Amino acid sequence: MKTLANAKKRKLIGTVVSDKMQKTRVVEVARFKKHPKYLKYYKVSKRFKAHDEENIYHTGDKVLMEETRPMSKDKRWKIIGKISKS
């Protein structure tokens, strides 16, 4: 049985698209989805608000974020590292 203490947290890779808030970044995560009838792949994206304590990530940075406890109404992710700068 999984408990909250040892539950595996989800991790996503995305691009910072907005750094206008304090301690919060908007990260866009893109993925490919397969059309059920035509079987063609197309790109879908979703934006998440993620916590950035030191305000060190900026627009265009590719980052790794991790699921965390709710920090506000919309914020449930925390940026844990920078992968690259676009």
Separation between Cα atoms, residue 86 and residue 68, nearest integer Å = 26
pLDDT tens sequence across 20-75 = 999 999 999 999 999 999 999 999 999 999 999 999 999 999 999 999 999 999 99
Phi first, then psi, for residue 2 (nearest 5°) are -85, 135
Specify the long-range contacts of residues 5-9, CB closer than 8 Å, at least 24 apart.
9/66, 9/67, 9/68
11-85 fold:
OB fold (Dihydrolipoamide Acetyltransferase, E2P) (2.40.50)
Residues 6+ apart with CB under 8 A from 73: none
pTM: 0.86
* Count of beta carbons in the 10 Å neighbourhood of residue 28: 13
Length of the chain: 86
